[in-house]
Amino acid sequence: MSPRTFVTAINCMDGRVQLPIIEWMKHRYKAEYVDMITEPGPIKVLADNKPADVVASLKTRTGISVNKHGSSCIAVIGHGDCAGNPVGKDVQLQQLEKAKHTVQSWGFTASIIGLWVDEQWTVHHIF
């Protein structure tokens, strides 16, 4: 039996973005499973690197995915019409870049990508 393959998504809790992200990541990375770590507006939290307890929780959950499941990729995700981070796409793309740096600072071996989900629920690979 081949080993199970995992990837990680730090995603908004908004149910509309779950399936598009799962399908995109499973296809792109040939992954069997997507560990979904959800938070309202996670790119704002990660870009601001606060509140500290929420950032620590995101880091702990990501660590479980990478260290226990062997996740090879961590996606940080923003999306249009986000109730937890109600700012425009341009601001969210800036936050996405800052969020990536926060996740990189955690020192996990998995690659880190940024994804944007538009209002039609199409996933765009930003970096």
pTM of the full structure: 0.94
Residue type, 53: D
Q: Give the CA distances from residue 76 to residues 2, 9, 69, 86, 114, in Å, rounded to whole numbers and listed in that order.
A: 27, 6, 18, 17, 5
Q: pLDDT band for position 1 (50/70/90)?
A: very low
Q: What is the CATH number of the domain that holds 53?
A: 3.40.1050.10
Is the confidence at residue 63, as pLDDT, over 80? yes
Counting the structural domains of the chain, the total is: 1
Rounded CA separation 6/63 (Å): 13
d(CA 87, CA 121): 17
Residue 81 lies in a domain: yes
Q: Is 1 a domain residue? A: no
pLDDT of residue 3: 63
**Rounded to 5°, angle at Cα 31 from 2 and 104:** 115
pLDDT average, residue stretch 13-32: 97
> What pLDDT is recorded for position 16?
96
Q: Which of 94, 86, 83 is nearest to 126 (CA)?
A: 94
HSE value, Cβ hemisphere, 13 Å, CA-based, for 68:
7
Asked whether residue 46 is domain-assigned, the answer is yes
Query: What range defines the domain where residue 72 resides?
Result: 6-125
Is residue 27 in a domain? yes
- What radius of gyration do the chain's Cα atoms show? 13
Q: Is residue 58 part of a domain?
A: yes
* Any domain includes 43: yes
